[in-house]
A and B are shown apart, each in its own frame.
Chain A
Amino acid sequence: MATHAAFMPGAKVEAPTFWGAVASWLTTVDHKRIGILYGSSAFIFFLIAGTEALIMRLQLARPDNTLVSAQTFNELFTMHGTTMVFLAIMPMSAAFFNYMIPLMIGARDVAFPRLNALSYWIFISGGLFLHVSFLAKAVPDGGWFGYANLTSHQFSPTHSIDFWMFGLQILGISSMLAGFNFLVTIINMRAPGMTLMRMPVFIWMSFVTQFLIVLAFPAITVALILLMFDRFFGTLFYSPAAGGDPLLWQHLFWIFGHPEVYILILPAMGIVSEVLPTFARKPLFGAPVIIYSGITIGFFGFGVWSHHMFSVGMGPVADAAFSITTMLIAVPTGVKILNWLCTLWGGSIRFQTPLYFSLGFIAMFTMGGLSGVMHASPPVDLQQTDTYFVVAHFHYVLFGGSIFGLFSGAYYWWPKITGKLLDERLGKLHFWLMMIGFNVTFFPQHYLGLIGMPRRIYTYAGDLGWNFWNLVSTIGAFTIALSFLVFIVNVIKTARAGRVASADPWDGRTLEWAIPSPPPVYNFARVPEVHDRDDFWLQKHGDGHGGAPRPKPAPVTAAEIAAIHMPPPSYWPILLALAMAMMISGLLISMYQVIVGGLLTLFLMYRFAMEHHRPPDGHGH
C-alpha cells in the first residue's frame, strides 16, 4: 500500500491513488507532513480572520455606517482575535516547530510522532468547533479575552460563549500535547555534540516557547473550567451578586494571556535570529545574550499580567509593582534588537525576500515595543488602554512582529519544504505591499487612539475628528489583503513552474541545509555529529580566520539507509481527536452524545496506547 511505502526508507513510492494519498495524509505521523498540515490549516484560518478584519474595517470606514449590525460586529472582533491568536499565529509557529525542530537538531522525527499527529487533529477539531458556531448562528461575541461577568448565563444566554469556551479548551489540549512533545524532543533528540549552547537560536526560542505553553495554558484551562461550572452547573465563581468576583477571570486569563503574547512572538524572534546571520553572512551577534534574553523574557512574562488591568482599580502598590516588572521586560527585548542590528553591521548583506521580512520585523517590532513601554506606565495606560492606541500597539507587535517574522520563515524555509524557490520579484512585491499596507492601516490608529477612539465600537459619531483616518486605515487593510493575494499567486506560480531549489539555496548555517530539499522521510541518512553552533557553515567555509573547511564525511551507503527505522502511519490520532470532539460538542447537544463520545474516547485512548505494544514473551499479536 502506498501509505506504507512512504515510511519505508529507500522503497520506491508508487504513484498513489487519490484516496490513497488522502489516507496517507490523514494517518501520517511524519513531522514534516504534520508541519505542512499545520501551516496550510493556519494559513486558511489566517485568511478567514483577515476577512473578518476587512469587514470590520469596511464598517468603520465612515461614521454611523450600517454595513453590519452591532451584534455582527461584536462577533467579528471576537472571532478575529480568537482565530488570529489560537488558529493562525500559534499553529503557524507550530508548523515551523514541527517541520524545523527535528531537522535543525539533527533528529529523524519528534519524540512522540503519533502524539504529534494527535495534537494536529485536536487543533483542527477545535478550530472547526469554533467555526461551527457560524452555522449554529451562535457566534462567540464576548471579545477574545471574554471578560466575566458578561460571559455569564445571565448576560450571554445563547450557546455563543459555550462555543468559545469549549473551542479554547480543545485547542488548549492540543497546545499542551505539542508543548510536551517538543520539550522532550529538544531535550532528548539532539544530534551528538549539539550541546544546549550549540543549539540554533530558533530552537532555543522554540524551547522557551514550549515552557511558556505548558506553564501558561493550565491557567486558562482553570479559568474556562470555572466558567463552564458557572454556565452549566450554576456555580457563581464570577458572579459578583453572590460573592464571586469577575476580576478573578481577569487575573486567571492574563496569567495565561501575557505569556501567550510571548508564545506568539518568541518563535518569530527565533526565525529572525536564523535569517539575519544567513543573509548577512556573519554569525549571530551575541548569540548567548540573545538566548539569555529569550529566557529572561519567558520568566518575566509570568510576572507582568496585571498590566492589562491598570484601570480596574488594583490600588497604587499593585499598579507600581506591575509597572516596574513590565518596564524590566523591555530591557532584554531592547538588547535583542541591538544584537540583531550588530549582526547586520559589518556583514555582506544579500537582499533576498526572507531578509526583507526579517528587516520588516525589526523595524516594526521596535515600534510596537516602544509603544509598549508607554502602557507600562499606569497613568499613561489609563488614557490608552481600550483605545485604538492599544489596537495599534498590539498589531505592531503581533502583525509587525509575529506575522513579519513568520513570513520571513516561510520564504526562508519554503525551498527546503517544497523543493522549489518562491519567486523573488513577487516576494518583494508582497513585502512592500504588506509593509505599506500595514503602516497605512495601523499607524493612524495610534493617532485615533490618542484622540479618544475606543476599541470594540461598531459605530462612531461623525463629529469627533475620527472620520478621515479611519477611512485611510480601511484602505491600508485592503492593501494588506492585496499583498497576501500576491503571496498566493506566488505560491501557485511556484508550484507549477518554480525554480528547483538546491539543498542549500541561501548558503545556510544550520543542519537542515545539509540534507536534500525536500528532505527524505528519514531526514538524515546518517545522524550528524555537531562541533559548533554554526556547524554546517563552518564545514563549508572554515571559521573565517583562515581555518580550513572541515573534511567532508564519507558518502552514505545503501545499507545505512536500509537500516533506518521510521514509525508507521496510524489511524488512532485522527479517530481519537474525532471522538473527543464528539464528546465535547455533545455538551451543546445531548448528554447521550457526551457519554457515547466519552466512552469512545476512552476506548480509542486505550487502542492508541496499545498500538505498538508487544508483550515481551511473544504472546498476543
Chain B
Amino acid sequence: MIARIVQRLDWTRLGLLGAVLLLASACSAVGWNWDTPMSTVIPKSDFGKLTHGIFMLISWWTLGIFIVVETALVYACWRFRERPGAPIPKQVHGHTVLEISWTIAFAVILLIIAIPTIKVIFKTQEAPAATALRVDVAGKQWWWEFRYPQQKITTANELHLPVGQTVSFALNAPDVIHSFWIPQLGGKRDVVPHRVNHITLTPEVPGEYHGQCAEYCGMSHANMRFRVVVHEPAEFEKWVKAQQAPPVDSPDALAQQGKTLFSQSTCVGCHTITGISAGHIGPDLTHFASRKTFAGSLMATTPDNLTKWIENPEHMKPGALMPNLGMKGEQSKALAAYLLSLK
C-alpha cells in the first residue's frame, strides 16, 4: 500500500515544492526588518504619516483581492482538473449579472481608495504657513546644497531641522533633474532646473535620517546622498549659532600650511570659506568639519578619506566634477588638516 503511494508520487513536483518551502522558511528566518535607515513604512513626519495611511488602506484592499483571486485560481485548477473519461464540460458563454456586479464592486473599491487619496493630495500641497522654516535645496551633479535664507546659513550634504517645526523646502537645480527624498520623512519631489518646486513637512521624531537623489541624474547618481539631523529645538538653535559664526581654524602648523595652500590654489574658484574665498560651484566649506560626511555623503569626514578625495576625487566618486588638482603627499595632508579644523 505505502509502496504504491510512494510509486505514484511525482518526485519532480515534490522536490520543487520542498525547495520552495525551504527557501520560504530560510527567508522568513532572516526576516523582513522594516526599521531600517531608509524605510518608507515607519514614517517620522506628518507628511509621511498621511502617505502611509493611504498606503496601508490600499495594501489591505489589494491584499484582500489578491488572496481571493489567487485562491480562486488555485481552487479552480484543482477542482476542475481533467478527469479520465470526463465529457466535454458545459459550454458557458458568460453571465451578464455577474459582469455588471463585479464591475460595480471594483468601482466602489476604487472610490474608497480615491476619496482619501484626493484629500491627502490637496492637504499635502497646501501653501506653507508663514511661520514655516524655509530651506532652499539645490540638487547638483552629484551633491546637495542647503541654504537657510532666514538664518543666512549655507551647508552641503547635511540638513539640520528642528523637531515639530514645519519646514518648507524650495527645490531648484542648476544642471539636470534630481529628486529630493528623505524616505523616513515622506515622499519625494523632483528638483527641476529653472523651476522652483515645493514640499512641506514637519519632522516629528528627533534622529538622524538618510536622504538620496531619486531621479537618475548621470554618472554618479548613486552617490548623490545626504544626511538629515532632526534636533530638539534648543539643539537646533545651537547648531544655527555655530554655523553663523565665522570659521576658526587651528593654529596647528600643518593646518596653517593647508590654509595657505587653499587660498593660493584654484580651490578658491569653486568653494566658499567665509573670509577666505567666495567660489560658488562646489560646496561651501566654511564649517566643513562640523559635517559627519562629505562628497555627496559618500564618506565619513576622516583625515584619511579626505586626503584620498583631494588626491583623486574621480576615483572616489566617478565623474566627480571637482578636478584632480595634482595635490600629493604633504599638500593633500595639509589641505585635509585645514579643512578638518573648520568646525
Contacts and interface: CB of A to CB of B under 8 A. Distances in A.
Contact of A452 (B38, B55, B82, B120): B38
Contact of A246 (B177, B212, B219): B177
Contact of B16 (A285, A436, A451): A436
A464 B36 contact: yes
B40 to A, nearest CB: 4
A491 B312 CA distance: 52
A282 B50 contact: no
Which secondary structure dominates chain A's binding surface?
Answer: helix
Interface in A131-189: 143, 147, 149-150, 155
A521 interface: no
Contact of B62 (A370, A452, A460): A370
B120 A344 contact: no
B176 A155 contact: yes
Interface string B171-190: 00001110101010011111
Contacts of A324: 114, 118
B72 A341 contact: yes
A338 interface: yes
B4 interface: no
B99 A377 contact: no
Interface in A440-472: 440, 447, 450-461, 463-466, 468, 472
Contacts of B188: 311, 382-383, 385-386
A339 B99 CA distance: 8
B319 interface: yes
Contacts of B52: 383
Q: In which size bucket is the chain A interface? A: 35 or more
Interface stretch (B105-113, B265-273, B322-330, B331-339): B105-113
Contact of A359 (B65, B73, B107, B198): B73
B318 to A, nearest CB: 4
B259 to A, nearest CB: 32
A220 B175 CA distance: 24
Contacts of B183: 383, 451-452
Nearest to B141: A155
Contacts of B175: 155
Interface stretch (A11-19, A82-90, A540-548, A608-616): A540-548
Contacts of A147: 177, 215-216
Contact of A351 (B81, B121, B225): B81
A240 B51 contact: no
A283 B91 contact: yes
A377 B189 contact: no
Contact of A544 (B91, B122, B192): B91
Interface in A359-386: 359, 362-363, 366-367, 370-371, 373-374, 377-386
A335 B187 contact: no
A346 interface: yes
A70 B219 contact: yes
Given A311-B189, A323-B114, A378-B117, A385 B92 contact: no
A377 B94 contact: no
Contacts, number: 289
Interface stretch (B26-34, B129-137, B229-237): B26-34
B58 A380 contact: yes
Nearest to A387: B214
A463 B58 CA distance: 30
A362 B19 CA distance: 23
Nearest to B83: A348
Contacts of B124: 379
B194 A451 contact: no
Contacts of B50: 379
Interface in B258-282: none
Contacts of B114: 323-324, 327, 377
Given A240-B194, A341-B69, A383-B187, A349 B81 contact: yes
A451 B65 contact: no
A234 interface: no
A493 interface: no
B121 to A, nearest CB: 5
Contact of B110 (A331, A341, A384): A331
A472 B27 contact: yes
Q: In this complex, which of B69, B183, B186 has the most chain A Cβ atoms within 10 angstroms of its Cβ?
A: B69
B80 A429 contact: no
B38 to A, nearest CB: 3
Interface stretch (A39-47, A262-270, A313-321): A313-321
Interface stretch (A99-107, A108-116, A286-294, A557-565): A286-294
Contacts of B176: 149-150, 155, 246
A366 B92 contact: no
Contact of B77 (A312, A320, A359, A545): A359
A589 interface: no
A286 B92 CA distance: 9
Interface in B276-319: 318-319
Nearest to B175: A155
Given A246-B177, A351-B77, 16 more contacts: A70-B223, A71-B318, A149-B177, A246-B176, A246-B192, A282-B91, A285-B93, A347-B80, A348-B81, A349-B82, A359-B77, A377-B113, A379-B187, A454-B222, A460-B222, A543-B91
Which 3 pairs, one residue from A and one from B, show the smallest C-beta to C-beta distance? A382-B187, A452-B38, A544-B91
